[in-house]
Copies of this chain bind each other. A is one copy, B any other.
């Protein structure tokens, strides 16, 4: 029987990896459908929303990586214990901040973003992680942590640096996520991007 979930994304980590992390965390089997960049122009118009990632489940399909992460987090219990905690997780607004910065990078091809614009943001985030005992919200593991650590390698590759070098509490977040057995197993099976 085919796995219940099918994720379609490019053959890189980037916006696909947080989704893969959450699926792996919960032990949800999924088809990891990876599109080669050279094939994308021929496929794009056949995709329901013209962009990746997309998630297929029970004959339905949806797009938008953050929305997909939030959905899967509910399935694998990486959400808050009540609506207000979910608000706190949403309010750190990490995915959208990262994604809007990534978009800027694409538009400007400007590496200075990594040396000038991102550090003040990481500084604030480091303080948040300190307050939350090595997690990004509500004092324990949530999908916000998996999103952050899932996308980190890609950001480091783009920035050509270890973005967390000066942020010990964010290093703890990273360690806390990568030590989860299911995540560790996933990362070991899947090599880093070769961009």
Question: Which residues of A are interface residues toward B (Cβ below 8 A)?
Answer: 57-58, 60, 62-64, 66-68, 70-71, 74-75, 83-84, 86-88, 90-93, 96, 100, 103
Q: What's the dominant secondary structure at chain A's contact region? A: helix
A70 partner residues in chain B, CB cutoff 8 A = 86-87, 90
Q: Is the CB of B71 within 8 A of A83?
A: yes
If A62-B88, A67-B91, A67-B93 are given as contacts, then 16 extra A-B residue pairs at C-beta distance below 8 Å, sorted by A number, are A60-B84, A62-B84, A62-B87, A64-B91, A64-B92, A64-B93, A66-B90, A66-B93, A67-B90, A68-B87, A70-B87, A71-B86, A96-B96, A96-B100, A100-B100, A100-B103
Chain B residues with Cβ below 8 Å from A62 are 84, 87-88, 91
The residue on B at minimum CB distance from A74 is B83
Instruction: Please give the distance in Å from A111's CB to the nearest CB on chain B.
Output: 19
The smallest beta-carbon distance between A35 and chain B, in angstroms, is 19
Interface centre among A57, A58, A67, A75 (most CB of B within 10 A): A67
B96 near A71: Cβ-Cβ < 8 Å: no
Known: A62-B91, A93-B64. A71 touches B100 (CB 8 A): no
Contacts of A63 in B (CB 8 A): 91
